[in-house]
Amino acid sequence: MTAANPTTGTAAPPPRARPWTKSKILGHVLMAVWILSGAYLVFYLTTNIGSPFFARYWREYVDGFLVTLQIVSLSLLIGAAISVPIAMARSSSWKLLSGPAYAYVYFFRGTPLLAQTFLIYYGAGSFRPELQAVGLWWFFREAFYCVVFAFSLNTSAYQAEILRGAIQNMPRGQWEGGQALGLSRPVIFFKIILPQALMVALRPYGNEIILMIKGSAIASIVTIYDVMGETRRAYSRSYDFQAYIWAAVLYLMIVETLRRVWDRIEERLTRHLKR
């Protein structure tokens, strides 16, 4: 053993003892439970890869995954497009604009996505003659379009709030600096304010994407065969609980991957802000 102090030859102090405190015992027990259940899950899934259930339904899970992907990406893109005018109206000083925009945001953020989806999908049936007259019935007849429509409106309200919050939280000095340089208001907005605001909004946007992926499971209730829909169909045919286990693993993988990728993107885009 090397001495801590070569001149005097005193030995290094012994490493601090880490006694088995209550929290250490509890932590180890809980971790053991997690590890055991994780190991059992892996064992359960690997033994079931050869099962008739997996052979019969894995293709449908892949289809469901693609449908989920379509619904989520379409809704997010359309929602992003709708959110811009709403955010603008919401931050307008003109009451006639900001009032309805506020009501829109309040309605879609204050009611459950499930009720909104029902309102649009089933509720459209109440206006069938009118919709047929204006030639929009084909749109509201299809569950897929209705779901994308409902999800787009829902996410547009959330995205409008994210956008508005990010833009309004930019310090006034940014505007004043641009004005001092003699830039016009649109140039200041698009070249100075918006890029910084989007940087701030990156994290809430990521959360919104994850919320949308999780929320898209609701589509399965109105006869869409997304991951959840395929799962429910597989379960109702086979009464095999592994249907739900596979879905859980799939959703967890999607969300975790997205979260990690998003963290990477955020780190990369904000690297000039790190000191």
Residues 80-119 as x/- pattern, contact with other proteins by CB under 8 A: --------------------------xx--xxxxxxx-xx
Nearer to other proteins, 193 or 218 (CB): 218
Reduced 3-state DSSP string for the chain: CCEEECCCCEECCCCCCCCCCHHHHHHHHHHHHHHHHHHHHHHHHHHHCCCHHHHHHHHHHHHHHHHHHHHHHHHHHHHHHHHHHHHHHHCCCCHHHHHHHHHHHHHHHHCCHHHHHHHHHCHHHHHHHHHHHHCCHHHHHCHHHHHHHHHHHHHHHHHHHHHHHHHHCCCHHHHHHHHHCCCCHHHHHHHHHHHHHHHHHHHHHHHHHHHHHHHHHHHHHHCCCCHHHHHHHHHHHHCCCHHHHHHHHHHHHHHHHHHHHHHHHHHHHCHHHCC
Total of residues contacting other proteins (CB under 8 A): 48
- Among the listed ranges 40-48, 55-63, 177-185, 227-235, the one in contact with other proteins (CB under 8 A) is 227-235
Residues 123-162 as x/- pattern, contact with other proteins by CB under 8 A: xxxxx-----------------------------------
**Minimum separation from the CB atom of position 97 to other proteins (A):** 21
Nearer to other proteins, 200 or 255 (CB): 255
List the one residue from 44, 122, 138, 139 that touches other proteins (CB under 8 A): 122
Nearer to other proteins, 43 or 106 (CB): 106
Nearer to other proteins, 183 or 221 (CB): 221
Contact positions vs other proteins (CB under 8 A) = 21, 23-24, 26-28, 30-31, 33-34, 106-107, 110-116, 118-119, 122-127, 213-218, 220-221, 228, 231-232, 235, 241, 244, 247-248, 251-252, 255-256, 259
